[in-house]
């Protein structure tokens, strides 16, 4: 028999707890930007009840084990509201304390301006550029679906929650990602749209009149128009649980909110977005909230109660999971040391072979997939062209979640961000492909992959003007240089099939993302692949060289041929393959000087911009102009990538 008086008491106590917690969160949301003299309080204030409800009632998570593989994932796509997430992480006991909140946006703090994965426990992805987090969430939902199908729902069976604002949905990446998510029917993906109709410039009607509900329904999403419930934890909980129970499609919860609420000065005003309140604004708002007018007011009893409740709420679910064989089942998906484990199990190529490196990578992937179940692959409508294919593996789709081949469609921008989400979910290594020139479409995601240390393998094929007839719109020139300067991104341009194999192993063992830059055209086998290990290696020795020819990719074979001609003319040329310029630069002086002997002139050859090579070479033979429409071999020769031109440049350098 139900005791109504006890239920009423519990409900009353819970309501008091909710009210107190939300008021404290809103106070923190004002105080942190005020003391930092920087930040965004308005969105955090408006979403305080939603975030509190998610963490205290809806999400399955465990502060004592932030990396629990079966936790619900939470992504704040509108990362400018980071203080909201930091407040919840502090209250829940994820390692942040009130002093960390006081250090918001300060040098070396655990509460940087936007959430950064790996920096703050409980942060799943690095967000800030709007729309990226939304697409990351799609990737996490794909990872969850695939793992649930392959290792079982007793091991992986969780939801992905993402909060997105007007800015996230305005950015084009959200269209690409939402379209794919709807097509795939990612039913455990729940996006809460913070519908406050405000951006920095002002009301959204200045720039946008989209029908968001109609838009997402056209993608195949389930849409819940929540109505004006943003202040009611009970109603928010009900709507979110409704979204969790929906099957067959991802869910968009459209939640109207009032930015800056309950400020008497800035509620519903765009000034609440990015301008910290001054002291009197905070004083007036805290009076309405019923909390003391003191900075970072977090009562000890509330903090203790919140942390105890948070630790206990999912403790039994977490205990049963860790006591099961779940960890053992996931062990096969570990990627640590995968490159070393695969050594000797991947293809090697003989001198009578001449595969394009985009063809070689497909053979490498097929072999690696037999030993590493966590490898998934896909491309932006260029699966066969790029080699990012686990042939003959089946497609991941709404009917087959165990498939490892993801067809992204013509969606490069989203593909990169989705791959980051897949990688950061854990257990899976995404290998994604497109033409190198379209790396431009993916640059925000590539940069965030590097910043996040997401183990994504970007396969960029058609790496030079050797693309040929498609002309300069499809011929990358400046792209190699532009990727090499991204901190934390490993960029490898292999000379042949053997270096491609070693490049893939290096990508698996690298702590972060890798760009493999591959050829369209066939390339002779001129290396044993060992140059990848330290970034460079000698492929044609000359004990007492008159000149050193340094090249990457397809130009290594060009330099080998040039060295033969130079030898006939009495010029001794050493040829160095340098597939990873950054790794070579990090080697000790003795190694570098063993390849590039001091006092011996160095000629660098690369079918790309000469930018950056002056640190290595005396003369650079490259391409500092856009390409041309012609057959690949004709375009290369026209732009100076020919044996005769290398010989000419080498002889001129030697004669100085």
What are the CA-CA distances from residue 284 to residues 32, 267, 270, 280, 287 (Å)? 17, 12, 19, 6, 5
pLDDT confidence of residue 6: 43
- Report DSSP state, residue 343: T
The Cα 119–Cα 130 span in angstroms is: 20
Within-domain flag for 641: yes
Q: Are residues 201 and 261 in the same domain?
A: yes
Query: In whole angstroms, what is the distance from residue 134 CA to residue 462 CA?
Result: 30
Are 82 and 200 part of one and the same domain?
Answer: yes
Ordered DSSP codes for 459-480: EEES-SGGG-TT-GGG--SSHH
On the question of pLDDT at 138 being above 80, the answer is: yes
pLDDT per residue as tens digits for the range 51-101: 999 999 999 999 999 999 999 999 999 999 999 999 999 999 999 999 999
Sign (positive/negative) of CA torsion 507, 511, 517, 523?
A: negative
Q: How far is CA 117 from the centre of its chain?
A: 10
567 in a structural domain: yes
Q: Evaluate whether 138 touches 421 at the Cβ level (below 8 Å).
A: yes
Domain boundary among 488, 517, 546: 517
Note whether 405 and 460 are same-domain residues: yes
Q: Are residues 593 and 488 in the same domain?
A: no
pLDDT at 543: 85
pLDDT per residue as tens digits for the range 243-287? 999 999 999 999 999 999 999 999 999 999 878 799 999 999 999
In a domain, 617, yes or no: yes
Banded pLDDT at 11 (limits 50, 70, 90):
low
Average pLDDT over residues 390-396: 84
Residue 7 located in a structural domain: no
How many independent structural domains does the chain possess? 3
Please identify, among 494, 517, 540, the residue that sits at the C-terminal boundary of a domain: 517
Q: Is residue 587 helix, strand or coil?
A: coil
Burial of 387 by CB count in 10 Å (0-12 exposed, 13-18 middle, 19+ buried)? buried
pLDDT band at 2 (very low <50, low <70, confident <90, very high): very low
Angle at 153 between CA 152 and CA 154, to 5 degrees: 90
Q: Of the candidates 323, 346, 365, which is a domain's last residue?
A: 323
Which domain CATH number covers 148? 3.40.50.970
Here the CATH number for the domain that contains residue 587 is: 3.40.50.920
Are 512 and 613 in the same domain?
Answer: no
Q: 508 and 554 share a domain?
A: no
pLDDT attached to residue 515: 98
Note whether 485 and 548 are same-domain residues.
no
Q: Compute how many other C-beta atoms are within 10 angstroms of the C-beta atom of residue 370.
A: 11
Is residue 105 a part of any domain in this protein? yes
Per residue in 409-456, pLDDT tens? Answer: 999 999 999 999 999 999 999 999 999 999 999 999 999 999 999 999
pTM: 0.97
pLDDT band at 164 (very low <50, low <70, confident <90, very high): very high
Residue that the structure tokens 């990848």 belong to: 532
Tell me the catalytic residues: 412
Check pLDDT > 90 for residue 339. Answer: no
- Which of 113, 121, 146 lies closest to 65 in space, CA to CA? 121
pLDDT at 336: 79
* Residues sharing a CB contact under 8 Å with residue 233, sequence separation 6 or more, in sequence order: 18, 22, 49, 52, 53, 57
Residues 158-169, mean pLDDT to the nearest whole number: 98
Q: Does residue 368 share a domain with residue 253?
A: no
Q: What share of the chain in percent tops pLDDT 90?
A: 93
Claim to verify: residue 347 and residue 493 sit in the same structural domain: yes
Question: Does residue 10 sit within a domain?
Answer: no
Task: State the pLDDT at residue 70.
Answer: 98
- Mean residue pLDDT across the chain: 95
Q: Structural domain of residue 611, as residue ranges?
A: 531-654
Q: Are residues 191 and 295 in the same domain?
A: yes
For the stretch 505-559, pLDDT in tens is: 999 999 999 999 999 999 999 999 999 999 999 999 998 999 999 999 999 999 9
Q: Are residues 176 and 276 in the same domain?
A: yes
Residue 496 lies in a domain: yes
Same domain, 130 and 262: yes
In a domain, 525, yes or no: no
């Amino acid at each position: 028999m139900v005791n109504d008086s006890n239920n009423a008491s519990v409900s009353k106590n819970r309501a008091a707890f909710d009210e107190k917690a939300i008021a404290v969160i809103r106070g923190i949301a004002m105080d942190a930007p005020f003391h930092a003299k920087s930040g965004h309080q308005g969105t955090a204030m408006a979403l305080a009840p939603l975030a509190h409800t998610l963490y205290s009632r809806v999400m399955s998570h465990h502060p004592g084990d932030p990396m629990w593989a079966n936790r619900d994932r939470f992504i704040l796509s509108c990362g400018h509201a980071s203080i909201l997430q930091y407040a919840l992480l502090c209250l829940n006991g994820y390692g942040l304390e009130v002093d960390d909140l006081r250090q918001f946006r300060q040098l070396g703090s655990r509460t940087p301006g936007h959430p950064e994965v790996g920096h703050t426990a409980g942060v799943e992805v690095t967000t800030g550029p709007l729309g990226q987090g939304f697409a990351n969430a799609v990737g996490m939902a794909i990872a969850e679906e695939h793992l649930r199908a392959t290792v079982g729902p007793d091991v992986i069976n969780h939801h992905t929650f993402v909060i997105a604002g007007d800015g996230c949905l305005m950015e084009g990446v959200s269209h690409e990602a939402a379209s794919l998510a709807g097509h795939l029917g990612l039913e455990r993906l729940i996006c809460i749209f913070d519908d406050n109709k405000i951006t920095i410039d002002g009301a959204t009607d200045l720039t946008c009149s989209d029908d968001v509900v109609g838009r997402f329904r056209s993608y195949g999403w389930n849409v819940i128009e929540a109505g004006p419930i943003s202040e009611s934890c009970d109603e928010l909980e009900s709507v979110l649980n409704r979204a969790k129970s929906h099957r067959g499609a991802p869910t968009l919860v459209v939640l109207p909110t009032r930015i800056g609420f309950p400020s008497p000065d800035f509620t519903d005003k765009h000034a609440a977005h990015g301008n910290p309140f001054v002291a009197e604004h905070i004083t007036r708002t805290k009076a309405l909230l019923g909390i003391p007018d003191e900075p970072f007011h977090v009562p000890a009893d509330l903090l203790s109660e919140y942390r105890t409740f948070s630790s206990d709420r999912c403790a039994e679910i977490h205990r049963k999971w860790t006591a099961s064989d779940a960890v053992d089942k996931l062990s096969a998906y570990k990627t640590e040391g995968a490159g070393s484990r695969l050594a000797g199990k991947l293809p090697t190529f003989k001198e009578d072979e001449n595969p394009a490196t985009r063809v070689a990578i497909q053979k490498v992937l097929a072999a690696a997939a037999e030993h590493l179940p966590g490898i998934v692959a896909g491309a932006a409508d260029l699966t066969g062209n790029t080699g990012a294919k686990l042939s003959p593996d089946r497609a991941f789709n709404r009917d087959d979640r165990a498939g490892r081949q993801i067809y992204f469609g013509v969606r490069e921008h989203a593909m990169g961000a989705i791959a980051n989400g897949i990688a950061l979910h854990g257990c899976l290594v995404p290998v994604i492909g497109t033409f190198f020139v379209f790396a431009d479409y993916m640059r925000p995601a590539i940069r965030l992959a590097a910043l996040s240390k997401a183990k994504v393998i970007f396969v960029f094929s058609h790496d030079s003007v050797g693309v040929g007839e498609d002309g300069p719109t499809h011929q990358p020139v400046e792209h190699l240089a532009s990727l090499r300067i991204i901190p934390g991104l490993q960029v490898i341009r292999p000379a042949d099939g053997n270096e491609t194999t070693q490049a893939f192993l290096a990508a698996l063992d690298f702590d972060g993302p890798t760009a493999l830059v591959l050829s369209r055209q066939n390339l002779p086998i001129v290396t044993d692949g060992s140059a990848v290990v330290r970034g460079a290696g000698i492929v044609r020795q000359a004990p007492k060289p008159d000149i050193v020819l340094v090249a990457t990719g397809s130009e290594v074979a060009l330099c080998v041929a040039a060295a033969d001609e130079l030898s006939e003319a009495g010029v001794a040329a050493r040829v160095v393959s340098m597939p990873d310029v950054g790794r070579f630069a990090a080697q000790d002086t003795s190694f570098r000087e063993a390849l590039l002997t001091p006092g011996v002139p160095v000629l660098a050859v690369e079918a790309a911009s000469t930018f950056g090579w002056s640190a290595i070479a005396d003369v650079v033979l490259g391409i500092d102009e856009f390409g041309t429409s012609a057959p690949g071999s004709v375009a290369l020769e026209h732009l100076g990538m020919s044996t005769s031109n290398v010989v000419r440049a080498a002889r001129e350098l030697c004669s100085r």
